[in-house]
Amino acid sequence: MKAMMLTGIRKMEMKHVPEPLISDDHDVKIRMDVVGVCGSDIHYYQQGKIGSQVVQYPFTVGHEGAGTVVETGPTVTRVKPGDRIAIEPAMPCHECDQCLAGRHHTCRKLKFLGCPGQAEGCLSEYLVMPETSCFPISHRLTFDEAAISEPLAIGIYAVRQSIPMPNSSIAVLGSGPIGMSVMLAAKAAGCLKVYMTDKLDERLLCVKQAGADWTGNVDKVDVVSLIHHQKPLMLDAVFECCGKQEAFDQAIELLKPGGKLILVGIPEFDHWQVPADVARRKEITIQNIRRQVDCVEPALEYLSNGTIKVTAMATHRFAFKDTPSAFELVAGYRDGVMKAMIDFRI
Ligand SMILES: [Zn+2]
Ligand SMILES: [Zn+2]
């Protein structure tokens, strides 16, 4: 089968590799239909690593996938050949202390699709996953929506780890797909007002149309004083969704005393700088978010009952063979790209 593999920094090639086989009774073989390009894929593409996770070439990335079941192991009950599914990229061991505590996302032996040293990603024609990673989707859902359920699940999880949303006012700093997912999840959970920032006007327009109450371009306006003007008592929670120190600093300023800062973005540096004095005086709580756990089903439910709409997130579409162009586009933040979808059907 064909697999799109990273072969070096900013290098990618289509390779012929053996089709994966069902090796466990609980395995499911999937033909890929759509894969969303994620910011973390771009980190591996451009830097060859995220923190301590370093790519050994050649390597296939991709973890936001949707496809069709083509074969199942003998004990599989969740899905059958022909089923359209969303793929949960995490493959936890189900046995360690973290798994037993319900924290499958921090499993000690976690294998995650397209994560170096763990599992090859889903930018390939076929994939084998345990049935616990396969979520059948309703006929109302498109493969795009199924693939986007992965980042949406992270938004839902981040919101669940924050504060009660009804009547809250929050900021989401960074309006990429994850920031947008946080906003959509917050709104669906009853958040009153979402202030969003970014450096790209196209993204701000996109999230505004999708439901953000206020948007500001950090390169053009003083977002902290503008939000302060509208909301003198400041905000209940701020979600950092771009991995930038300046956003972290803005978050500390934007929070009211007792507020919560939720770190969702992936920084390219090793250490956050916390302003000790103001963070202490305001008694700010800082919550880190590691992907998500148990939020794929809620994401699919929100999408299939229409509470959350994500089609606007899929701004660009590429054939599988053109994946390198998709990565270049996303890496360069070109053409107002929010999310590029790799479509195996075209
Ligand atoms: Zn992702
Ligand atoms: Zn485990």
Among all bound ligands, the one having the nearest atom to the CA of 293 is 2
Q: In angstroms, what is the span from residue 6 Cα to ligand 2's centroid?
A: 28
Q: What secondary structure letter does DSSP report for 55?
A: P
Q: Name the residue type at position 330.
A: V
pLDDT interval class at 310 (50, 70, 90): very high
Interhelix angle 245-254/223-230, rounded to 10 degrees, is 20
Among all bound ligands, the one having the nearest atom to the CA of 108 is 2
pLDDT interval class at 37 (50, 70, 90): very high
Q: In angstroms, what is the span from residue 292 Cα to ligand 1's centroid?
A: 10
Among all bound ligands, the one having the nearest atom to the CA of 177 is 1
What tens digit of pLDDT does each residue of 221-249 get?
999 999 999 999 999 999 999 999 999 99
pLDDT in the model for residue 268: 86
Residue whose C-alpha is closest to residue 179's, from 264, 83, 95, 117? 264
Q: Which residues surround ligand 1, an ion (CB under 5 A)?
A: 38
pLDDT > 70 fraction of the chain, expressed in percent and rounded: 100
**Considering the entire predicted model, what is its pTM?**
0.96
pLDDT in the model for residue 271: 95
Task: Return the ∠ at Cα 153 (arms to 151 and 159), rounded to 5°.
Answer: 110
Q: In angstroms, what is the span from residue 97 Cα to ligand 2's centroid?
A: 7
